Chains A and B, each alone.
Chain A
Amino acid sequence: MGTYLVRRFALMLLTLFGISVLIFVMLRMVPGNIADILFDAAGMIDVSEKAKLEHELGLDKPIVVQYVEWIGGLARGDLGYSYVSEKPALDEIAPRIPITAKLAGLALAFSIVFGVPLGVLSAVKQNSTLDYILRVVSLSGLSMPAFWLGLLILMVFVSSFGSIPIYTDPPKGFWNTLWLYSVPAAAVGFRSSALVMRLTRSSMLEVLRQDYIRTARAKGAAEWMVNYRHALRNALLPVVTVIGIEAAFLMGGLIVTETVFNIPGVARFLVEAIRWRDYPIVQNLVMFIAAVAVTVNFLIDLLYAVLDPRIRYAS
């Protein structure tokens, strides 16, 4: 197990290195840089002023030198300065992480709390009216685009309550925070829970047909014991994988929800930074999201062993 962990950790570092090279090169392949964007906003190109700005920002250095400087800084905890705000990149990125983490956490909680039990219920009551209803609901959750659902929710709030649950100021207090994040989290979580529910259902149906389930029933085990202790635990493996992927996705993939609900989180910030070609922000933020994704995947691999005793990681 120890060797496995070390190997997995080394693989994680290698993955992150690959991502760092990829994002660095890809960013520079996109047309234009911050100087182009700034002058573009002014509707003009002053070649000498542009060259001066590129020199000031070190954009005229060879690409390898720029990469080494960035990675060196990252290793020392120096993320550089945002080209746009001219503030330390860390100061710009750090406050946004808890915002997205709260939203992603709530959305994930929503998807698990609703997705798993309803998936089990749907499987256990296969082909009943309840099953059909749950399947239609889950299908609609997967089919509705997030921006459409988000706007629909906002319109309902405005027309029914005369208020709008969007982020205009940092929320104060626990309940205020919960209220502000729970509406967009529900919008995101609806899709995620639909996914989790459908996967739980199909996985449960497969497990419920296994011989050991029949054996458990034959031995006189209670139905809830069969469903939750024997079936669900084994059916959870693919579900946990999907939940893990969702968790990693939610950290950087909430662009639509953050835009519709005006939440100043990581994803919206990343898109804005890409628009400005704000390299220090984009590179470091992508690395952060990649680190989260890689770590979550690593933790899921570990969780497999906990959930399924048959899985053993040999050295």
Chain B
Amino acid sequence: MTAKLTALAAAMLAAASVAGARAAEPKHGGILHIYHRETPPSLSIHEEATFSVNVPAMGIFNNLVIYDQHVPQNSLQTIRPELATSWEWSKDNLSLTFKLRHGVTWHDGKPFSAKDVKCTFDLLQDKASDKFRKNPRKDWYANVADVTINGDDEVTFHLRRPQPSLLAMLASGYTPIYPCHVSPAQMRTHPIGTGPFKFVEMKQNESIKLVRNENYWKKGLPYLDGIEYTIIRNRATAVLAFVAGKVDVTFPTEMTKALIADIKKQDPTAICEIKPINVNTNLIVNRDSPPFNDPQLRRAMALALDRKAFIDIILQGEGDIGGTLLPPPEGVWGMPPDILKTVSGYGDVNKDREEARAIMKKLGYGPDKPLKIKVSTRNLATYRDPAVVLIDQLKQIYIDGELEPVESSAWFAKVARKDYTVGLNLTGNGIDDPDQAFYENYACTSERNYTHYCNKDLEKLFDAQSAETDLAKRKKLVWEIDKKLQEDVARPILFHARTGTCWKPYVKNLTIMSNSAYNGYRFEDIWLDK
């Protein structure tokens, strides 16, 4: 009897597990509804620099290689082939050759070939007769001397010096392959890709619609019939729309801790994740403007910072303390805690502030003679709020700051012409990679080097780490550079923010990346279990 019961139970268990497996089998069909926080300037990824574009547009395109869409931490180890079937470095690490996939067609039916890859990189390097209206990531490919093709199915990148990170940049959501036969102007208004979804329409303030690419080269994919992004500018309305089931997924990384608590209260079935987005908030000081040309004064300012207070006040505890690169465990390259605590200004806040006050007194400032400054920042809440906390913290060392909110559109122009003394800025990183972070923000000639920090010796180290193929050795170099940048008060990092995304439980296979907000939106194997 017992044996019979056991057998019956086993049979029932097996049946249940088969049913479970069936339930977990992907289903075709359905439209995924996501709310979008704004109308993107265009859907031409190469011309834009906000993930407001990447989120809806990544599904239209393919890259040569792509970060594994289901491994949250992007790294060199998680890069997978896409339009390329394989890649190989030359022995001297100066050329990278990709074998390309056969039988891939563009959404307009024309065949994809190596020429398209060359065209894309000619555009990015300003070598083509056609030009992008703006080309924000031209510098990513500064080390690429040339891109050559060998027939229709092979393409080689020739480098000036070895650069393992080239592969990381090629795997970013920012690096889709564009068709030769479509102009940059048309790519802005009606993008053509090889990706799982075809562009249907974008109506300003209304919606962006994508439909399933029936001829997608990955047979059987995508599962969805389409994706519709409803543009909802008001976040309160967007949250209510999600709770009411009008949208299935919130706009990635848009939810704060407080909003998630509100959502979970109204819809306990909602799945929400809070993760770093690799955007840091930092202090910028015009080092050419007296008295800030004195390194001692800049050091005192860095010592006044209480990073934990920023995180507690601004992000309700959802943030990380780190240097230029996103700290571990989510960040691949950030300084580990044991090194971070040895960096000047990252230790005991009270002790650091004592030291800062002593420096300030030596420079002639004190409680009765504070240094009066303006703290400039963009007139957006994400900038203004930490700037107010910064002003409060600087008061501790006799610096009397006044907030100067700058009209958003005038912000970068103002910073670029050095029309500021002290400011607060946000820096987003497209990929978690030292090359992107160092060259873009700290190289002497970079357009995004807002403080004009210039250290030629450190630049040599930028090149050394960039060319280093041994991962462990490279990490040590990266930490050394990052530590030096913080101690030189190049651009003191205040905090790395964490934000959230929510989705309904019937949305399957959605993975939110944990060290970048720009790379995880191909959505080819997302399916709806309803």
Please report A residues at the B interface, Cβ cutoff 8 Å. Answer: 30-33, 36-46, 49, 53, 56, 82, 84-87, 92, 151, 154-155, 157-159, 162-164, 166, 168-169, 259-262, 264, 268-269, 272, 276-277
Contact = CB atoms under 8 A, between A and B. Distances in A.
A172 B400 CA distance: 59
Interface stretch (B88-96, B97-105, B280-288, B402-410): B402-410
A162 B230 contact: no
Interface in B182-226: 185, 188-189, 202-207
Interface in B289-322: none
A159 B243 CA distance: 9
B411 A53 contact: no
A45 B243 contact: no
A158 B266 contact: yes
Contacts of A38: 41, 133-134
B134 to A, nearest CB: 6
B49 A41 contact: yes
12 contacts: A30-B407, A32-B410, A38-B133, A40-B413, A42-B49, A44-B447, A166-B237, A166-B240, A262-B233, A269-B204, A272-B205, A277-B409
Contacts of A86: 185, 188-189
A84 B41 contact: yes
Contact of A32 (B203, B241, B409, B427): B409
Interface in B229-287: 230-234, 236-237, 240-241, 243-246, 266
Nearest to A35: B134
Given A36-B409, A40-B411, A45-B416, A158 B244 contact: yes
Interface in B1-55: 33, 39, 41-42, 48-50
Nearest to A92: B204
Contacts of B189: 85-87
B134 A46 contact: yes
A168 B136 contact: no
B232 A262 contact: yes
Given A86-B188, A259-B234, A264-B203, A45 B447 contact: yes
Interface of B: 33, 39, 41-42, 48-50, 133-136, 185, 188-189, 202-207, 230-234, 236-237, 240-241, 243-246, 266, 407-413, 416, 427-428, 447-448
B234 A262 contact: yes
Contacts of B408: 40
Contacts of A277: 409
Contacts of B234: 259-260, 262
Nearest to A150: B237
A142 to B, nearest CB: 23
Contact of B413 (A36, A169, A276): A36
A264 B134 contact: no
A264 B205 contact: yes
Contacts of A159: 266
Given A42-B49, A42-B50, A166-B246, 4 more contacts: A39-B413, A43-B428, A151-B236, A158-B243
B410 A41 contact: no
The 6 closest A-B pairs by CB, nearest first: A32-B409, A42-B49, A42-B136, A164-B244, A264-B206, A31-B410
B409 A37 contact: yes
A40 B409 contact: yes
Contacts of A40: 408-409, 411-413
B245 A260 contact: no
A43 B412 contact: yes
A42 B49 CA distance: 5
A2 to B, nearest CB: 44
A164 B410 contact: no
A261 B240 CA distance: 11
Nearest to B38: A272
Contacts of A32: 407, 409-410, 413
A85 B208 CA distance: 13
Contacts of A41: 41, 48-50
Given A39-B412, A42-B134, A164 B448 contact: no
A44 B448 contact: yes
A157 B234 CA distance: 17
A44 to B, nearest CB: 5
Given A53-B134, A259-B234, A46 B447 contact: yes
Which of the listed residues B49, B205, B245, B448 has the most CB atoms from chain A within 10 Å of its own CB? B205
Contacts of A260: 234, 236-237
A54 B285 CA distance: 30
A200 B121 CA distance: 69
Given A36-B413, A43-B412, A49 B266 contact: no
Nearest to A99: B206
A163 B244 contact: yes
Contact of A268 (B42, B48, B233, B246): B233
**Residue from A49, A84, A168 having most chain B Cβ neighbours under 10 A:** A168
A217 B245 CA distance: 60
B134 A49 contact: yes
Contacts of A154: 237, 240
B53 to A, nearest CB: 9
A164 B188 CA distance: 33
Contact of A168 (B48, B207, B236): B207
A39 B134 contact: yes
Contacts of B207: 168-169
A36 B325 CA distance: 28
